[in-house]
Structure 1
Amino acid sequence: MAMRLKTPFGLAVALLGAASAHAGRPPELAGFERGRAVWLGTCQLCHAEPATGAPQLGDAQAWAPRVAQGKAVLYRHALEGFMGPLGDEMPPRGANPDLSDDDVKAAVDYMVQASQTVKP
């Protein structure tokens, strides 16, 4: 459903809102909005809390061996769950059964990109 803007003011507000959605974000993460939204809503509970043992957003060293396995493995672990060698667990869909496959994959893509380009 398309949103109809009836006034120039409405158009200006919409344009400013779209611009501010990208403000302060590194250009390397442009296009990862869906993944970032999923990360904020679900994944950050573990991937922004070092005590969980989960690889932290932006930690290239922690993500490198995972990224080396390939996206198919990362997606499978995120979708189906995974028990690491140290007993650290990645629950299926980040323990959020409402996430679609595409949502989970977008979050993985966002975290991988963030681990290779920026610090949070």
Structure 2
Amino acid sequence: MKKMLLAAAVMTLSCHGYAAQDPQAVYDRACGVCHNGQIPTAPQKGDKAAWEPRLAKGMDTLVQSVTNGLNAMPPRGLCMDCTAEDYQAVIKLMTE
């Protein structure tokens, strides 16, 4: 019975779409390589003016761009084990 309750709790939590990884850790190991200013076309973390037109496209579009790659950004943005929820959390971190 305890195993069934534990399994139900885990399934419930996994359905809410929370990031599995710490956004700052993902940024530090994958995203920051380009978004710290090394690639001039990559918007820097915290640069609200650079992120504004991108955010206007919507989060789904941004996640799709990361997943598929866009311009100089490689597919999956160098985070091969990230989920869509991880990408959303990192994008939110970078845009604040």
Larger relative contact order, structure 1 or 2 (CA cutoff 8 Å, min sep 6): 2
Equivalent pairs counted in the alignment come to 76
Q: List alignment gaps of at least 5 residues for structure 1.
A: 1-32, 84-88, 115-120
Cα distance in 1 between the residues matched to 2:79 and 2:39: 20
CA–CA distance in 2 between the matches of 1:51 and 1:74?
A: 18
Distance 1:51 1:80 in 2: 18
In 2 relative to 1, CA 49–73 (structure 1 residues): closer, same or farther, beyond 3 Å? same
- What residue number does 2:68 align with? 80
The reply on whether 1:105 has 2:93 as its aligned counterpart is no
**Equivalences for 1:41-80 in 2 at 5 Å?**
41-80=29-68
Q: Which has the larger radius of gyration?
A: 1
Look up the SS of the partner of 1:82 in the other structure. coil
Counterpart residue number, 1:37: 25
Instruction: Point out 4+ residue stretches in structure 1 off by more than 4 angstroms.
Output: none
- The residue that corresponds to 1:12 in the other structure is none
Cα distance per residue 1:19-55 (max 9 Å; x no partner): xxxxxxxxxxxxxx82111111110000002444200
Write the distance in 2 (CA, Å) between the matches of 1:99 and 1:71.
Answer: 16
Q: What secondary structure does 1:75 align onto?
A: helix
Aligned-residue offset at 1:98: 2.8
Give, in whole Å, the separation in 2 of the partners of 1:71 and 1:101: 10
Q: Look up the equivalent residue of 1:42 and give its one-letter code.
A: A
CA distance in 2: counterparts of 1:67 and 1:37, whole angstroms: 22
Contact 1:50 1:56 in 2 (8 A): no
Q: What's 1:9 paired with? A: none
Is the contact made by 1:75 and 1:105 (CA closer than 8 Å) also made in structure 2?
A: yes
After superposition, residues 10-29 of structure 1 pair within 5 angstroms as none
